[in-house]
Amino acid sequence: MKLTQIPFKDTGFFSKTMLDYLEQKEAIKPFYNNFPDITGFHNQIEEKEKSYRLQSRLTLVNGLGNQYKKFDVSEKTSENIALLKQQNTFTVTTGHQLNLFTGPLYFLYKIISAINLAEELSEKFTDKNFVPIYWMATEDHDFDEINYFNFEGKKVLWNRKDGGAVGRFSTEGLETVFEVFSNQLGNSKNAEQLKELFKKGYLEHTNLADATRFIANELFKEYGLVIIDGDDKHLKELFIPFVKDELDNETSFKEVSKTITKLEKEYKIQVNPREINLFYLSENSRERIIFEDGVYKVNNTEITFSKDEILKEVDENPLAFSPNVIMRPLYQEVILPNLCYIGGGGEMAYWFELKNYFEKVNVPFPILLLRNSVQVVSEKQQKKLHNLDISHQELFMNQHKLLSKKVVENSDIKISFGDKINYLEEQFAELKQVAEKTDVSFIGAVKAQEVKQIKGLKNLEKRLLTAEKRRQNDLVERITELQNQILPNQSLEERQRNFSEYYLEYGSAFIKALKEGLKPLELEFTILEM
């Protein structure tokens, strides 16, 4: 195993928002609290310590105890749950949807980022305890986003009727998916382990939340990962004051809207708030709550409440009130002694909209940490990259630009069209000066000729490049094939592939390599040569 790190910006796959954040640009500083470095964590610990109540800790630990009743809990995870009772224990959290069989590869990178960060903080702050948390997005209702995973370029799909919170979905019908997937895996030792994991996860648990907990627990329990399901009555009781405030004052809409007005001057807005950012959750539906004509209505149903009725419903049935993407982060920070949220670029982008809202409701805004991103390169692929003289940075170039660069470098014809164009521009600059002294009307003709000549040179450059690509067809094909292998669909593989492809080849050594190699606070992109 060999690790190489490169700046996130060198991959070309990260937004201006994230790159500015990593560089701590002035424009983005108003939208976050403490930065993910040791000084930032010191400040965050002090802030969270003052605000998080002992009663919340006890409710959290009791809730986790109930959630883990049916599961084989490792000694390390049990210790971490018990530690949460102590005032000097804090969490670092990542969250993810309940994707079938973990979904894309970055599911692993999120969780290992959280595990490794907790360990690093334990070394830096020896009088504190730090627990890695995986927050299961059990209340999401977008089934189309989670009902498949990709394996060796093919989609493994679970077809079933949609409706309600996905965590409550029955696992019925996954026997068929298991048969299809099993046939693709073969019969190696690692294949049998994958089959066992899928089978025990989905065929021996009755709902998707329990199945996902089992799988994540099996993969990471030795590292003490604690998995939490927010679809929990007792945890939601802690959130009642904030739900009532939302229904009564529409606080999130007001505060987030103010932030967006400022944020959108520089950055793309990820999500927009609604007037009420809550759903009403029942067994088979999760519908928006709308305030209209003095009445609270549950969208697409006949359910309505007066103000007094809905506030009473919050007290008596808190489980029915489900936060959307705007309020879910607040819910997480209310029920956890959390210091840091670890997520991808898209997640970070919507968190930047929330700082003012957190301040308004007096909840500490957590540190935001861009999760580790990884590109796995096999020994064979690395050898090909070396033979083709392609660096790790070049690997992420646009394919057309990469091919053009390598064809030019490999060509016997050494003509610099850039030099020729620069020379032309210098000549025309002199002509413009002459025109200004003689006849100003002549300048237009000079400029038109300059554009024509430069365009002609650029066309010649393209034609020469096209001819060279034909002549060097073997090189072009080798580069194209290799880059397509490493970056499927010209995208980061972590967004495309499932962990099972690498587990099939390397077994548990793959997860151990990630655990040993990922450094969440170094804030760089990782290339892992296996």
> What is the DSSP track for 456-512?
HHHHHHHHHHHHHHHHTHHHHHHHHHHHHHHSGGGS-GGGT--HHHHHHHHTTHHHH
Tell me, yes or no, whether 135 lies in a domain. Answer: yes
55, pLDDT greater than 80 = yes
Lowest mean pLDDT among 129-138, 468-477, 485-494: 468-477
Query: DSSP label at 275?
Result: S
Percentage of the chain exceeding pLDDT 70: 96
Tell me, yes or no, whether 432 lies in a domain. Answer: yes
Tell me, yes or no, whether 284 lies in a domain. Answer: no
pLDDT for the residue 417? 63
Cβ neighbours of residue 404 under 8 Å, at least 6 residues apart? 465, 469
pLDDT for the residue 352? 98
User: What sections of 264-378 are H helices per DSSP?
Assistant: 307-316, 328-335, 345-351, 355-360
Tell me, yes or no, whether 104 lies in a domain. Answer: yes
CB 348, CB 270: distance < 8 Å: no
Cα dihedral angle (270, 272, 276, 281), rounded to 10 degrees? -40
For the chain, how many structural domains are there in total?
2
Count of CB atoms situated within 10 Å of the CB of 506: 17
Q: What is the pLDDT of residues 67-124, one digit of tens each?
A: 999 999 999 999 999 999 999 999 999 999 999 999 999 999 999 999 999 999 999 9
Inter-axis angle of helices 417-438 and 442-471, nearest 10? 170
Find, among 110, 117, 112, 77, the residue nearest to 94 by Cα.
110
Question: How sure is the predictor about 193, in pLDDT bands with cuts at 50, 70 and 90?
Answer: very high
CA distance 379 to 527: 12
Same domain flag for 425 and 361: no
Find, among 100, 187, 98, the residue nearest to 138 by Cα.
98
317, pLDDT greater than 80 = yes
Lowest mean pLDDT among 63-77, 392-406, 445-459: 445-459
Three-state secondary structure readout of 359-413:
HHCCCCCCEEEECCCEEEECHHHHHHHHHCCCCHHHHCCCHHHHHHHHHHHHCCC
Same domain flag for 338 and 484: no
444, pLDDT greater than 70 = yes
Same domain flag for 487 and 513: no
Question: How sure is the predictor about 497, in pLDDT bands with cuts at 50, 70 and 90?
Answer: very high
CA distance 448 to 445: 5
Round the CA-based radius of gyration of the chain to a whole number and report it: 27
Tell me, yes or no, whether 268 lies in a domain. Answer: no
The arithmetic mean of pLDDT across residues 255-277, rounded, is 97
Sheet of strand 2-6, all strands in order from the earlier edge strand to the far edge: 2-6, 525-529, 374-377
Same domain flag for 234 and 336: yes
The arithmetic mean of pLDDT across residues 407-428, rounded, is 72
Same domain flag for 32 and 6: yes
pLDDT for the residue 304? 97
CA distance 85 to 226: 14
Question: How sure is the predictor about 467, in pLDDT bands with cuts at 50, 70 and 90?
Answer: low
The arithmetic mean of pLDDT across residues 392-396, rounded, is 97
Question: How sure is the predictor about 61, in pLDDT bands with cuts at 50, 70 and 90?
Answer: very high
Same domain flag for 119 and 60: yes
CA distance 12 to 522: 18
Same domain flag for 478 and 404: yes
CA distance 343 to 332: 14
- In the chain the first and final C-alpha atoms are separated, in Å, by 5
The arithmetic mean of pLDDT across residues 38-60, rounded, is 97
Lowest mean pLDDT among 14-18, 139-143, 236-240: 139-143
Tell me, yes or no, whether 317 lies in a domain. Answer: no
Tell me, yes or no, whether 416 lies in a domain. Answer: yes
pTM confidence score: 0.92
Same domain flag for 433 and 366: no
136: which strand partners? 96, 229
Query: DSSP label at 6?
Result: E
Tell me, yes or no, whether 305 lies in a domain. Answer: no
pLDDT for the residue 87? 97
CATH number for the domain spanning 231: value is: 3.40.50
SS3 content of the chain, % helix, strand, coil (to 5): 55, 15, 30
Bigger pLDDT: 243 vs 404: 243
389, pLDDT greater than 80 = yes
pLDDT for the residue 455? 79
The arithmetic mean of pLDDT across residues 346-364, rounded, is 97
Same domain flag for 332 and 475: no
Average pLDDT score, the chain: 94
Domain membership of residue 33 as a residue range = 2-148+208-238+326-373+509-529
Question: How sure is the predictor about 251, in pLDDT bands with cuts at 50, 70 and 90?
Answer: very high
pLDDT for the residue 523? 98
Same domain flag for 11 and 137: yes
pLDDT for the residue 432? 74
Same domain flag for 364 and 225: yes
Q: What is the largest CA-CA distance in the chain?
A: 91
Extract the tokens encoding 153.
Answer: 């370029």
281: which strand partners? 286
Same domain flag for 517 and 477: no
Extract the tokens encoding 393.
Answer: 């940075």
Burial class (CB in 10 A: 0-12, 13-18, 19+), 416: exposed
Query: DSSP label at 170?
Result: B
